[in-house]
Structure 1
C-alpha cells in the first residue's frame, strides 16, 4: 500500500469544514477510521450479529470465530506468546485500572513503592495514586530532562528494592518523547518489580514486541490505531494473569456458580465479564489488518519524517514555543506548542475556522503542564493519512493566527 495514497481510504477526510478542506491533526486524541474498518463493523451488524461463546447456532458461531480471530490478530500484532495473554477491555484506561485493581491490590503492601514519570497521562497516574493511598505505599516520580526525556541513571536510583510496580508510557501524548521502556523494564526486574507500559500512543505508530520489551503488562486503545472507540487491550504475562482475581463479576466469566461460592473461567475470559465488546474487537482486527498492510516500520519512518518537517517549519513562526525533543527522529508524530501571548484555546479556535483540527488544553497531563510551567498547550498530531502539505497549511494558519492577535492587542 502506497503511503501517499492512504488518505483515499478515509471517507471522513474528504469534506470541508468552515469552507476549507479538512486538515485533521488530532490523531493522538483519536484516529480516523478507514473504510475497511467501517465495512467490517457494518458486515458484523448486517450479517453476523449475535452473542459469542454461548450459542451453537450459525450466527453465534460466526460471531465467536470473528471475535476470537481478532484476539489472535492482536496477539500477533504485539508478539504475545498466547491468546490467553490478550484481554479485551474498553481501552487503555480500563486496562491500567485492571492492573492496579487486581494485581496491585493483591501485591502492593504498606511501605512499598510505585514509580511513574511526570509525563504520564492521567489514566496512568490516578489508579496508582488511589492504590498508594489505599495500601500506604509511596508514589515516586522519575524526573525529566529539559527536553522531556528520562535518564536511565535516574531510573536506577529511584527504582529500589521497595519498588513493586513501575508504570510508564512508551510515548508521551504531549512531548512525543519515546521512552526507553525496554531498558527500564530490565532495571525494574533486577529490583523485583514488574513493568507496566502504557502503549496508547506507541501501538498505533511503531512495531510492538512485548516479548522483546519484556514488559509484564502492556495497554493499548483501538480508537487511536484506526479502530473503533470503546475497545482496548490489556496484555499480561500468563503467569501473572493466572494468579490475578477478576475485578468484574457476572455472566461469561464464570465456570461454576453455586449459592455461596463460584469459580472462574480460564484465561482470558475470566476478565471479560458480561457480553464482550464484539463489534469493537472485530473492528480492531480489521484495523490491525490495515496497519500491517502498510507496515508499522513504514508508518514509524514516515511519522518521524513528518515530525521533523513540522518542527522545522513551525519554528519559523514568530513567538513559537515547541515542547519536547527537537529532532523528528527522537519523537513520535506530534508537536505540542504555544504561541506567545495567545492562549492555546484561541489558537485552536482560529485554526478550526481554517478547517484545521488540533487539540488544545492540558491533554490529560496536568502534572506535566505544571512541570512545563504552562496552563495549557496546543497539539498537532499526525498519522498515516497526513502529509507535508497539511503541515504547510498549519504553518500558514499559525502565521495568520499570530498576526490576528497582534492586531487585536
Structure 2
C-alpha cells in the first residue's frame, strides 16, 4: 500500500476531501455521536454551506469568523464581586479546559484554535447565588473567546450572560455542573443590529445534578447559538429553553443537543420563536440521543414558531435517536403557523381589539420561556424588549 493510500484509508471520515467517485466515504454521518470532533480548525474542511450543520446559515457573511484570523486576546467582561462567585483567567493549556465538550464543526474549532486565555467563573457554596456577566464593550473586529462556568458539587446558582452592543464574536462556552449541584445559565443576545455571534455551549452534568440552559435571542444580524448538554452521570437532569424574535433580514439559529449517556436521566427542551418582516429567518434543530446504557431515560423536546407576517421562514427539525428500549418515555414535536383563531376570538369577545389581542398572544407565547429565568430584573427588561418589538409590528 502506498503512503497516499494509507493516509486516505486512516483519515477520519468527514475531515478530508474525497474524490467524486469515492461514494462510500461520501455517505453523510447520520448519528450525532459519530460526528468528527477536533479543537483544531485545520481538521475541518472550509465551509461551503452544503454541510448538514451549515446548510441553513448565511455562510458567506460568516467568512471572517470561519476562515479569517481571529483576535484571541481577552474579551472585556464585567463580573460582580459577590460571595460564592469567583473569576480568573487561565492559560489555554490549563487542565480545566476541555472537560465539557469538543467542537464538531469549523466555526467552534476556529474559536478554540485562536483563544489565548479562558475566562473561568466558579459557583461555590451551599447558598444560592446570582451573578450577571456583562459583555458590552466589544467592537466589530473578528474575535474568539473561551469561557468556563463551573458549579462545584452541591452548589446552587444562576448565571446570566448579557450580550449587547457591537460584536463579531465566535466562542466556546463550557459548563461543568458538579454532583448534586443546581445551576441555571441564561444567555441573552441583545446585540446591535449589525452584530454577528457564533457560540457553541457544552455542558456536562454530574450525578443527581440539575442544569437549566436558557437562551433569549432578540438582537443581532446573525446569531447562531448551539447548546450541547451531556447527561453523562446517573440521575442527571437537563432542561433547555429558548425564546427568540426575528425581524426583517435577521437570522437566528439554535441547534440543541441532549445526550443521555447514563441511567435514569431526564431532559426537557422547549424553544419558542416569533418572526416578522421580510427575510426574517429562524432555524431550530433539536437532537436527542438516548444511548444504550441510558436506561430509564425520560425525555421530551418541542419547538413552536409563530409567523406574524409574510416573507419569513422558520426551519424546525426535531431528531430523536434511541438505542435502548428500556426507557420511561421519549417524544418530540414541532409546529409553525399563524395565530390560533380560537384564542383571538376568545380575547376579542371580551372587548379587546384584534390588534391588541394578537399582541397579547405573542406576549404570552414568548414570556412563558422568559418567566423561567427566575430573576425579576432580567425578566422585566426582556418583557420590555419584547414589547418594543411588538410596538414596531403591524400584526
| Bigger relative CO (Cα 8 Å, ≥ 6 apart) | 1
Q: Could you tell me the TM-score, scaled by structure 1's length? A: 0.26
Greater percentage in helix: 1
Larger strand fraction of residues: 2
TM normalised by structure 2 equals: 0.27
